[in-house]
Structures are given as structure tokens and as C-alpha cells.
Amino acid sequence: MDAATDKRFTGSIPALYESHLVPLIFEPYARDLADRIAALKPQRVLEIAAGTGVVTRRLAATLAPDVAIVASDLNPPMLEEARRRGTERPVEWRHADAMALPFDDSAFDVIACQFGAMFFPDKARAFSEAHRVLKPGGTFIFSVWDRIEENEFADVVTRAVATIFPDDPPRFLARTPHGHFDTDAIVRELRAGGFESRPRVDTVTARSIAASAQIPAVAYCQGTPLRGEIEARDATALDTATELAARAIVARFGTGAVDGKIQAHVVTVRA
């Protein structure tokens, strides 16, 4: 198991994450999430696990100028990349652990988290913290990826890289980003975290489009902690794994521009 390394977004990963993964898979869901939040007409919004700021930038562009936005992340290199990219209006950037949020009770009327809940080591505890800092009647809205088989590029890359290490295949993508798709389990964890109302779960399908197979290959192999898994098994194998992943994507989707399915669950629950 490599679960201890799953949150290590360090070195060159934040920049590659922003340049490759954000346009590949995160931007469509960031637009969707920001639109959902705007419809709630909030006054004070907390974003948890903001990463390199794709949702933060969309919120800053979508919400009214008087809406306060606090964007937080556990990982300082990711947060620094978000700060460097900036937003079109001021937001407050905070280093924060979802397990122990450094905010007062009832401080926000909306909490957002795009593709971060899968990384929480104790989901119920993190949800309890979200519940604590939400105002009564406030809304927690977050997204998680569906199973890896419903996310075609991630699935192809995982299968391709496994052929290099058949006795110990790297499983980061299946284990963590795509490992928390059971909506019944999510409902139970929310209830354990203090959310008594029934959440709404929307399964949202989109397309992941890139100019070449090399882009998703680099995105997944070098712009996520899958990189650490590969290098831990063979320090010289990263380029080989990336090229093998690219060839597998070409074999599945053809040469030139590639277009694959992505799918996620968007969960909305009232405190």
C-alpha cells in the first residue's frame, strides 16, 4: 500500500497538475460547482482542498464582489501554486487541515470541496468539521470521482503502468482519486459527521479532451502522486511509464486529439 504518499503533491507536481490536469479534467466540474454555489446566494464561502485554485478562480469570477471567499488546502506547495496563479479579485488563502479546520463555529454559509474528500483520512471527522463551521441551514457541496472504469484516461493509464510492475502495480489512481465512489458510504459518513438531512447526489458526466495522448499521459504519470509510486519502484522508470501510457491512450483513442469520458458525483447537503 502507498496510502501514506497519496497526499504528496510536491516538487514539480503542482505546476504539472495545474498545466495538464486542470484543463484536462477539473475545469468542467469547477464551472459546474461554481454555478451551483452561485445559485445559493452565499455571503461567506469556504473552499476546502483548493489545490491549485481552479474552483477558487471560478468562484472569484462568478460570485458577487461582496461575497467573502476563503480558499484552504493542507498542502503548502499546492496552495503556493494557487496563490501564484491568482484570482481576478481578492480571496483569503489559508493553510488548513480538513481534520481540524482553523475557523470558528458557524462561520460560513457554504463550504465547497472539489475532489478533495477522497484524500481525507477520516471522512466522518472531516465532515464533522465542515458541519461545525457551517451556519445552521448552510450548505456543504463537494464532488468525488466515480469509479475508475467510468473515467477512461485514468483507467487506461493505470492498466498501462501496471504492465511495468506486474507484481506490485501502482494503484494510486484507483485507490484514492477513484476509490471513494460508493454514494451509500458517503451518506453514512455524512450522517456520522452530523449531517442529518438526506444529501442530494448528482452523477455528472463530462468529456476529457486533449490535443494529444501525451498530455493525459504526462498529467497522470507526472502530475499526481502516481509519480512517486512509479519512482519508488524504479527511479529510472518515469519516462518509460509515461511513454507506455501515451501509447496505450493512442491504441484506445487514436492519434491526434483524444477525447475520453470522465464522471463524478456532486453531493449537496444542508447542515
Per-residue pLDDT tens over the stretch 25-77: 999 999 999 999 999 999 999 999 999 999 999 999 999 999 999 999 999 99
Furthest CA-CA distance within the chain: 55
Write down the pLDDT at residue 3.
53
Buried b (16+ CB within 10 A) or exposed e, 223-255: bbbbbbbbeebeeebbeebbebbbebbbebbee
Cα separation, 68 vs 251, in Å, equals 47
Reduce the DSSP state of residue 7 to 3 states and report it: coil
Q: Where are the alpha helices (DSSP H) in the chain?
A: 13-16, 27-39, 54-62, 76-85, 123-133, 152-162, 172-175, 183-192, 214-222, 226-233, 238-253
pLDDT at 6 over 90: no
Mean pLDDT, range 180-207, rounded to an integer: 97
| Domains of the chain and CATH, by start | 3-148+172-207+264-270 (3.40.50.150)
| Contact status, residue 27 vs residue 61, Cβ threshold 8 Å | no
**For 213-250, how does the pLDDT look when each residue is reduced to its tens digit (9 = 90+)?**
999 999 999 999 999 999 999 999 999 999 999 999 99
pTM comes to: 0.94
Cα separation, 141 vs 200, in Å, equals 9
Name the burial class of residue 168, with classes exposed (0-12), middle (13-18) and buried (19+) by CB atoms within 10 angstroms of its CB. exposed
Write down the pLDDT at residue 2.
54
Reduce the DSSP state of residue 222 to 3 states and report it: helix
Write down the pLDDT at residue 64.
96
pLDDT at 8 over 60: no
Query: Across all residues in the chain, what is the average pLDDT?
Result: 95
Residues contacting 185, CB < 8 A, separation 6+: none
Write down the pLDDT at residue 22.
93
**For 125-155, how does the pLDDT look when each residue is reduced to its tens digit (9 = 90+)?**
999 999 999 999 999 999 999 999 999 999 9
| Contact status, residue 17 vs residue 52, Cβ threshold 8 Å | yes
What CA–CA distances, in Å, run from 3 to 49, 64, 177, 217?
Answer: 17, 39, 11, 22
Cα separation, 88 vs 59, in Å, equals 10
DSSP notation for 21-47:
IIIIIIHHHHHHHHHHHHHT--SEEEE
